[in-house]
């Protein structure tokens, strides 16, 4: 039975490049999961976009002497480039700076208001006379009222690590011009999380059986320890989505409030692009549909608590406000398989210190599948992990090249050379041939189950273990000796091995899409396993934005055992992976921490 599945992927802030920690934290697991669901015949869409608004972008614009729009567009373009090169198959990767996202976010706001889930309150905030505007928390620095550190930021103290209430800073100064701001009262809308708490708690209890323990701890555990309190959803800032209420000009929706709404607005934009404007209902209103949120652990409260609260609070009215058709309930997250963090050579990744392996920089020297392979074998699914350059080289050489790449290349070359470039005709399969095929074919169950449960490391280890089994089978059968005495026996062995390799190609395709696609061609298939990624520019009242799209095209890959026809013409194969030299370990380590300009 085909199921509707939404892969909702974390929205990167458009103020920085993307490093391997971000990739393995959320983007890559989403892609592996989504590619598997496509092969398995489910109706899956994978959506996300650039988080274009908020102070992270305006602060960067000030630092680069640029505008928020220019900053967002620059980093957005770099995301599109990286995702294409890494094969992250978003059905739509868009942005929060679109007319559609503005309308969807404002509709959620109005639906919450109509359901009585918003209230207003006046609070003191720092006002800059020189700039004649309120200063966001990140724009104010001063002395920490907890530890006395003199360079604390308004939102957080880097010395004691506490989150701060900006209005309590001692000796405050504007980060922009150093002037002293003044506290003034300003009015804001708040999301009434106290009122929504019962709905959120019920939602979490329903998912207790299958959610990751760390996600439950940071959601249900936190609420049980401390009741939810109202949270401001508007702020005094001009870069963002206007508050859709008269008299509130000059204020915007807080970026945390509107960015998560992107999961909904991106599905809606996807449907519009495909000229089936209501198609998003299949993922958001069908109660059997499942949504998976791929995020890092720093984002758990927003996705496991606040986003479900927003959705519950908007129920009934969202559809009416957005498209004049009300009464329906929006789907709450089915799973939030948040990952822990990846460190780098034993230290926390830090972009500002350039202690990072940057995605695009990496791909200027290496191929995408070895990166995907290393990041999945080392994915922080249950605990923090570490990127280690020596480990990267070892796994590439000992596993990708020695276990899998050589197996595929050796057998394809052998068949190509000795059977006129064709898949050999086997004699009757022997017990050991049937046994190895059965072993590999069982992988469609075991690997599939692991991926469905978002245990991607186990899934990949299992697929590689099956490749090891095929190697053992070949070591024993030794067709390169058989062929000298009995070519028909050798043909049976080679046919069996090629069929096992053809199955392994599918089992590995969600993880290693580029090399699986090449292997698929070498095996003589004419239609590709997967579709293609493409970009296009879209226009609306806010200007233009570029999007990334996965187009299925002639994609023919299926999650099922090989039916490789004997006699099928092969294509002269090339090695799938290259062996890496140990000397690169020191070269790469020497790049770390060196500030690039
Ligand atoms: Zn402090």
Q: How many CA atoms lie within 13 A of 215 on its CB side?
A: 27
State residue 132's pLDDT score: 84
Measure CA of the first residue to CA of the last residue in the chain; give whole Å: 53
In this prediction, residues 224-251 reach a mean pLDDT of: 92
- Banded pLDDT at 163 (limits 50, 70, 90): confident
151 CA from centroid of ligand 1 (Å): 9
In this prediction, residues 237-245 reach a mean pLDDT of: 93
State the residue for tokens 């490093």. 19
Window from 18-32, 224-238, 552-566 with minimum mean pLDDT: 224-238
19 CA from centroid of ligand 1 (Å): 29
Between 156 and 502, whose confidence is greater?
502
Please state the pTM of the whole predicted model: 0.94
Percentage of the chain beyond pLDDT 70 is 99
Beta strands in 10-91 (DSSP E): 43-50
State residue 56's pLDDT score: 84
| Structure confidence by residue, pLDDT tens digits, 174-205 | 988 899 999 999 999 999 999 999 999 999 99
State the residue for tokens 């509709």. 107
| Structure confidence by residue, pLDDT tens digits, 100-128 | 999 999 999 999 999 999 999 998 899 99
Residue 461 to residues 29, 389, 403, 466: CA-CA distances in angstroms?
15, 20, 12, 9
156 CA from centroid of ligand 1 (Å): 8
Among 132, 133, 156, residue whose Cα is nearest residue 145:
156
158 CA from centroid of ligand 1 (Å): 7
Task: Assign 8 to helix, strand or coil.
Answer: strand
| Structure confidence by residue, pLDDT tens digits, 36-86 | 999 999 999 999 999 999 888 988 898 889 999 999 999 999 999 999 999
159 CA from centroid of ligand 1 (Å): 5
> For residues 60 and 329, is the Cβ–Cβ distance under 8 A?
no
313/302 Cα distance (integer angstroms): 15
Residue 324 contacts by C-beta under 8 Å, 6 or more apart in sequence? none
141 CA from centroid of ligand 1 (Å): 12
Beta strands in 196-338 (DSSP E): 231-232, 234-235, 252-253, 290-294
Q: How many CA atoms lie within 13 A of 95 on its CB side?
A: 29
| Structure confidence by residue, pLDDT tens digits, 266-298 | 999 999 999 999 999 999 999 999 999 999 999
| Residue 137 pLDDT exceeds 90 | no
State residue 573's pLDDT score: 97
State residue 597's pLDDT score: 44
494/412 Cα distance (integer angstroms): 9
| Residue 595 pLDDT exceeds 80 | no
Task: Assign 223 to helix, strand or coil.
Answer: helix
**HEC states along 374-442?**
HHHHCCCCCCCEEECHHHHHHHHHHHHHHHHHHHHHHHHHHHHHHCCCECCCCCCCCHHHHHHHHHHHH
In this prediction, residues 210-228 reach a mean pLDDT of: 94
Among 594, 577, 593, residue whose Cα is nearest residue 392:
577
165 CA from centroid of ligand 1 (Å): 11
- Structure tokens given for 269: 């934009």
State residue 400's pLDDT score: 97
157 CA from centroid of ligand 1 (Å): 5
State residue 536's pLDDT score: 97
580 CA from centroid of ligand 1 (Å): 46
State residue 596's pLDDT score: 58
Between 89 and 177, whose confidence is greater?
89
| Structure confidence by residue, pLDDT tens digits, 510-537 | 999 999 999 999 999 999 999 999 999 9
| Structure confidence by residue, pLDDT tens digits, 390-415 | 999 999 999 999 999 999 999 999 99
- Banded pLDDT at 238 (limits 50, 70, 90): confident
Among 445, 409, 569, 435, residue whose Cα is nearest residue 496:
435
Among 216, 217, 131, residue whose Cα is nearest residue 173:
131
22 CA from centroid of ligand 1 (Å): 28
172 CA from centroid of ligand 1 (Å): 14
What is the dihedral sign for C-alpha 555, 559, 560, 565? positive
């Amino acid at each position: 039975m085909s199921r509707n599945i939404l892969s909702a992927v974390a929205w990167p802030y458009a103020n920085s490049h993307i490093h391997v920690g971000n990739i393995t934290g959320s983007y890559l697991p989403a892609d592996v999961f989504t590619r598997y669901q496509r092969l398995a015949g489910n109706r899956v869409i994978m959506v996300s976009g650039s988080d274009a608004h908020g102070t992270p972008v305006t602060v960067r614009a000030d630092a680069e002497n640029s505008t928020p729009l220019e900053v967002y567009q620059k980093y957005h373009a770099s995301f599109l480039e990286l995702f294409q090169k890494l094969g992250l198959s978003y059905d739509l990767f868009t942005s929060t700076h679109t007319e559609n996202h503005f309308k969807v976010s404002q509709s959620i706001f109005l639906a919450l208001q109509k359901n009585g889930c918003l209230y207003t309150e006046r609070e003191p905030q720092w006002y800059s006379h020189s700039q004649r505007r309120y200063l966001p928390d990140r724009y104010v620095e001063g002395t920490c009222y907890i530890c006395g550190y003199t360079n604390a930021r308004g939102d957080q103290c880097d010395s004691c690590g506490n989150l701060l209430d900006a209005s309590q800073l001692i000796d405050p100064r504007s980060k922009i011009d150093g002037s002293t701001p003044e506290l003034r009262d300003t009015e804001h809308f708040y999301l009434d999380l106290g009122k929504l708490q019962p709905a959120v708690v019920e939602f979490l209890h329903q998912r207790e059986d299958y959610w990751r323990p760390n996600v439950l701890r940071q959601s249900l555990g936190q609420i049980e320890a401390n009741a939810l309190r109202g949270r401001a959803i508007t702020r005094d800032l001009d870069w963002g989505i206007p508050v859709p209420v008269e008299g509130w000009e000059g204020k915007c929706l807080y970026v945390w409030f509107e960015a998560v709404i992107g999961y909904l607005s991106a599905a809606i934009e996807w449907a519009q692009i495909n000229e089936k404007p209501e198609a998003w209902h299949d993922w958001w209103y069908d109660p059997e549909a499942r949504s998976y949120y791929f995020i890092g652990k720093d984002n758990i409260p927003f996705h496991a608590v606040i986003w479900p609260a927003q959705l519950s609070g908007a129920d009934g009215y969202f559809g009416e406000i957005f498209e004049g058709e009300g009464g329906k309930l929006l789907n709450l997250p089915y799973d939030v398989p948040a990952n822990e963090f990846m460190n780098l050579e034993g230290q926390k990744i830090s972009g500002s210190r350039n202690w990072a392996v940057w995605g695009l920089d990496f791909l200027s020297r290496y191929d995408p599948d070895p990166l995907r392979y290393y990041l999945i074998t080392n994915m922080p699914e249950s605990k923090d992990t570490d990127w280690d350059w020596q480990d990267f080289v070892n796994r590439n050489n000992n596993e990708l090249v020695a276990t899998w790449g050589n197996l595929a290349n050796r057998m394809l070359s052998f068949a190509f050379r000795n059977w006129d470039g064709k898949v050999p005709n086997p004699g009757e399969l022997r017990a050991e041939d049937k046994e190895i095929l059965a072993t590999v074919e069982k992988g469609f169950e075991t690997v599939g189950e692991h991926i469905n449960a978002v245990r991607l490391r186990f899934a990949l280890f299992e697929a590689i273990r099956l490749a090891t089994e095929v190697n053992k089978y070949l070591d024993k059968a030794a067709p390169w000796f058989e062929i000298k005495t009995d070519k028909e026996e050798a043909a049976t062995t080679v046919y069996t091995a090629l069929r096992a390799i053809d199955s392994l190609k599918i089992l590995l395709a969600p993880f290693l899409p580029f090399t699986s696609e090449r292997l698929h061609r070498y095996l003589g298939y004419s239609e590709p396993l997967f579709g293609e990624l493409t970009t296009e520019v879209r226009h609306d009242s806010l200007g233009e934005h570029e999007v990334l799209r996965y187009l299925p095209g002639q994609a023919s890959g299926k999650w099922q055992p090989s039916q490789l026809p004997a006699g099928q013409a092969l294509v002269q194969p090339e090695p799938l992976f290259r062996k890496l030299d140990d000397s690169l370990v020191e070269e790469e380590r020497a790049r770390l921490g060196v500030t690039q300009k």
